[in-house]
Chains A and B, each alone.
Chain A
Amino acid sequence: MEAIGDIKSGYIRELLSKGLREDSRKVSDFRSIKVAKNVIENAEGSAQVDLGNTRVLAGVKVILGEPMSDTPNEGTLAMSAELLPLASAEYEAGPPSPNAIELARVVDRGIRAGKCVDMTSLFIEEGKSWNVYVDIYVLNYDGNLFDASCLAAMSALACTKMPEYENGAEVREKRVKELKIDNIVTSATFAKINGGILLDPNGNEENAAAARLTVATDGKFIRAMQKGLSGSFSAKEVEEMADMAMKKHDELKRRVMGA
């Protein structure tokens, strides 16, 4: 396995030195993106995203609960991610790996910092609130889980329909009211390979990468960033990637807003 991985990484590096990618994309191109919304009817919101061969499903459950003690007039938002064993031969069952935790926390930070969900709209009455759970299910791995997951989570939240609160209980039969979304955040993830930088690395490209940077933005502000892997970036490279992420935002936002 490792030998094959090394050979593939060598191939990826060689291609990139000529400005080429194995799927003939330009360095600033995303793979094809498909967003399917409301694929799980029982969930309050859901979206499945295909980013090339990477497939991620995000489900939203809205549950009656209590506000956090430090934000008594708001509901709560919790994000988690699972790298399912069915998604890759490399993934194993068990407690969340550091990779899964990082994935969930980076997606969470972008959406939270972007103030995408109106948290006060989730407040019901003293001691009662709607608590929103976003679960990211990775179904097939081929690189760049960050952008696929951010897109899936944001799209699922954008199509979430709220349960009703009647006589102290939650009623799910008629879910009509939409979850109040104030802002749309999307992310762009870059990989540094042999000193070159490319957008939306696929699985082979990620294996060959020395460093990775995810930039989440609402088009106006940079909302969250996360650098990964043992390689490094210069300040200038970071600025260029942030700039590119902002430029890509509109294109991704249209996917989130699409039917």
Chain B
Amino acid sequence: MASKANRPDLVVDGKRLDGRAMDELRQLKIEANVLKNADGSAYLEWGRNKVLAAVYGPTETQPKHMADQTKAIIKCRYQMAPFSSLEDHGRTGPNRRAIEISKVTKEAFENVVMLNEFPGSMINIFIEILQSDGGTRAAGITAAAVALAGAGIHMKDLIYAVSVGKIGEHLVLDLNMKEDNYSDSDMPMAISPRNNNILLLQMDGEYTGEELHRAMEMAIEAGKTIGKIQRDALRSVYTNVAEKYESV
């Protein structure tokens, strides 16, 4: 959102630079259970984003003093790989941005994971951004939801996340990095599609009340597409198993 002085034309003839319509998602692919050691995992490609999410647990809480004897606790670590961005070489380890994203991601999942089923235990969510192209926190949450489901952890809902931004007078769904850099607003949201409750909401830029209303509508509508891809990823784990047996 830095310098708008030399902003390229991001919208030409009603289309975005990558040819998308304003309310069109980038291509989204999710594969579930991709890591052997993790209890659940998912690999996601969303546009040029490449994200790996893994879930370990429920397991014994470490360190012990963090344990809550009334419910499970969730720990979440979102991190960008040092080689993940086109421009910079990032430092290893979480920076202030990553710590904040980890916190709000954890809070979103606390809403849907049935924590009461596993008192005293912990559930670890690891989100590694291998390649970033805008909207990585949304990609991480969408992947982690599949990883949690794949781990067999009971949840009230399979949540997803997506961002809605503003470029000039246009509201645009699912900003890529270039759009994100030059946009007037960005608002990532995590949503529980069962009741369209908003579990994560961050925003900066400039929205009028009316634009806020439309932006939330766009995010809710996008959930239909994203949710189907998440469920298909989980379903195909078991179809593939079935095919394997058939071929024996």
Contacts and interface: CB of A to CB of B under 8 A. Distances in A.
Interface of A: 70-71, 96, 98-99, 101-102, 104-105, 109-110, 112-113, 213, 220-235, 238-239, 242-243, 246
A243 to B, nearest CB: 6
A249 B192 CA distance: 31
Contact of B3 (A70, A222, A231, A232): A70
A228 B216 contact: no
Contacts of A227: 104, 198-202
B103 A102 contact: yes
Contacts of A235: 196, 198, 213, 216-217, 220
A172 to B, nearest CB: 29
6 contacts: A102-B103, A105-B97, A113-B204, A227-B198, A232-B198, A238-B198
Given A235-B217, A242-B212, 15 more contacts: A102-B100, A105-B96, A221-B206, A225-B203, A227-B202, A228-B104, A229-B107, A230-B108, A232-B111, A233-B198, A233-B201, A235-B196, A235-B216, A235-B220, A242-B209
B184 to A, nearest CB: 9
Q: Which secondary structure characterizes the binding site on chain B?
A: mixed
Contacts of A243: 209
Nearest to A227: B201
Given A98-B102, A221-B207, A243-B209, A238 B107 contact: no
The 6 closest A-B pairs by CB, nearest first: A230-B110, A232-B197, A227-B201, A221-B206, A225-B203, A113-B204
Given A228-B104, A231-B111, A235-B217, A222 B203 contact: yes
B198 A109 contact: no
Contacts of A238: 198, 201, 212, 216
Nearest to B216: A235
B99 interface: yes
Contacts of A230: 107-108, 110-111
B217 to A, nearest CB: 7
Contacts of B208: 220-222
B2 interface: yes
B204 A223 contact: yes
A224 B212 CA distance: 11
- Which of B1, B198, B204, B208 has the most chain A CB atoms closer than 10 A to its own CB? B204
Given A233-B198, A246-B209, A71 B3 contact: yes
A113 B206 contact: yes
Contact of B100 (A71, A105, A113, A242): A105
B140 to A, nearest CB: 16
Contacts of A229: 107
B199 A232 contact: yes
Contacts of A232: 111, 192, 197-199
B222 interface: no
B187 interface: yes
Contacts of B216: 235, 238-239
B205 interface: yes
Contacts of A109: 204
